[in-house]
Amino acid sequence: MTTDPSPKSKPSWLDTVRPTAITLAIAALGATIAHLLGVPAPFLVGSSLAVTCLGLAGFTIGVPLVLRDMCFVIIGLTMGAGVTPDVVETAKQWPLSFLILGLSLIAIIVGCRWLLQKIWHFDPMTALLSVVPGHLSYVLGLSAQTSGDLTSISVIQSLRLLALTILVPFAVVLIGFEAETVAAQVAIMPLTMFGLSLAMSFAIGFVFNRLRLPAAYLLGGLIWSTGSHITGAIDGTVSPYVAIPAFITLGALIGTRFFGVTLAQLKRAFAAGAVVTLAAFSISAFAAWCVSLFINAPFSHLLIAFAPGGVETMSAMAVSLDADPAFVAAHHVMRLFILTFLAPIMLGMARRSSQRADQL
């Protein structure tokens, strides 16, 4: 007669909380060091680098979904506080910028895919999904429905996001842009209004999330904050005591993308990821320069708007570097909108290309 094995004990609350606490503590430490060293956008750059190193070292790390969504809402509220009637007037110049943005996306996908296929001999499906500069969860969702190498896709896409988080602030500063503190120029939002904005933003984000829109909670915060500030219903921006922890949490979230990635996987995809990221950034910078010839916007703002990074990351960076948050957010949301239609079309073309290759 055998006895049933004893049931496994459920993980304690400490086992659940510990990885989050370690992740956020290391993120805060990395952000503090970056701030003391004078690194541009230190709360994003320092935290993402610190947590990336922690994950690659084998530590269990993570950011809970509720905390992630709260972080996105706060960043959205911070961005919307910078929208003024002058910004709305300037928006009349944006259609040309959107057109050039769309052309740059096609150039990035076609050019970087060619590099991966010709130099690293990636199959067409893996090469395409590795270079689509869209919302990471959207790309990985597409990848799960194909025969592409999911590991290579996720590592290269994560490298792109991390590299641009580090590269863009330094590039912006090198071209002569001086960061200023938004909180010193705009009054702080009253606590009651902040509570109302938080609740309404979560409600809008929840609806968007149910509709499967990308960056749902960030858009919820942005839309509520933009509308309430343009109408004059709410005045002031989010307190830096709230905004800075949100930036640090976002940096930690970027770093957690590398949890579970082995050094062998990273080494295999590093060269390919570095080359296609630099190629994509170069194409985006050229497109931003072209737009600067036609519209009245600083090149540094255009560079952040066109950089093929995550919408949440680049939008937060716009706030950190005191760029025009509405302009940057509008371009990154438009990029996701274009890719929503463009990616499936190019995916179908890649699938047919793979089928033809198999028949030969």
Please check whether residue 309 is in contact with residue 164, taking contact to mean a CB–CB distance below 8 angstroms: yes
Which residues face 237 on adjacent strands? Answer: 188
CA distance 233 to 55: 43
Q: What is the CA radius of gyration of the chain?
A: 21
* CA separation, residue 229 to residues 83, 88, 193, 248 (Å): 7, 12, 11, 25
Q: Which region, left, alpha or beta, applies to residue 38 given φ > 0 means left and ψ of -120 to 50 means alpha?
A: left
CA distance 138 to 343: 10
C-alpha atoms less than 13 angstroms from C-alpha of 291 in its C-beta half-sphere: 30
pLDDT level of residue 348 (50, 70, 90 thresholds):
confident
Burial of 353 (0-12, 13-18, 19+ CB in 10 A): middle
Q: Tokens standing for 47?
A: 């935290």
pLDDT digits (tens, 9 = 90+) for 5-59: 545 555 565 666 888 999 999 999 999 999 999 888 899 999 999 999 998 888 8
Q: Which region, left, alpha or beta, applies to residue 214 given φ > 0 means left and ψ of -120 to 50 means alpha?
A: beta
Position 2 pLDDT exceeds 60? no
Of the ranges 92-106, 142-156, 250-264, which one carries the lowest mean pLDDT score? 142-156
Q: Which region, left, alpha or beta, applies to residue 322 given φ > 0 means left and ψ of -120 to 50 means alpha?
A: left
Please check whether residue 205 is in contact with residue 217, taking contact to mean a CB–CB distance below 8 angstroms: yes
What does the pLDDT read at residue 124?
A: 86
In the chain, what are the domain boundaries?
64-245+260-359
Please check whether residue 48 is in contact with residue 251, taking contact to mean a CB–CB distance below 8 angstroms: yes
CA distance 128 to 110: 8
pLDDT level of residue 347 (50, 70, 90 thresholds):
confident
Sign of CA dihedral 64, 66, 67, 71: positive
pLDDT digits (tens, 9 = 90+) for 197-242: 999 999 999 999 998 877 789 889 989 998 898 888 888 889 999 9
Please check whether residue 30 is in contact with residue 51, taking contact to mean a CB–CB distance below 8 angstroms: yes
Q: Which amino acid is at 293?
A: L
Please check whether residue 71 is in contact with residue 246, taking contact to mean a CB–CB distance below 8 angstroms: yes
DSSP 179: P
Tokens 């071209």, residue located:
175
The DSSP-derived string for 187-224 is PBPPHHHHHHHHHHHHHHHHHHHHTT-TTHHHHHHHHH
Give Cα 2 distance to the centre of its chain.
Answer: 54
CA distance 75 to 243: 7
- Name the range with the highest mean pLDDT among 5-9, 154-158, 276-280: 276-280
pLDDT digits (tens, 9 = 90+) for 178-198: 444 433 445 889 999 999 999
Of the two residues 84 and 174, the one the predictor is more confident about is 174
Please check whether residue 141 is in contact with residue 287, taking contact to mean a CB–CB distance below 8 angstroms: no
CA distance 126 to 276: 13
Query: Mean pLDDT over all residues of the chain?
Result: 84
DSSP 5: P
Q: Backbone phi, then psi, for 234, in 5-degree steps?
A: -130, 140
pLDDT digits (tens, 9 = 90+) for 299-341: 988 999 999 988 778 888 888 877 887 788 888 888 888 887 8
CA distance 38 to 222: 29
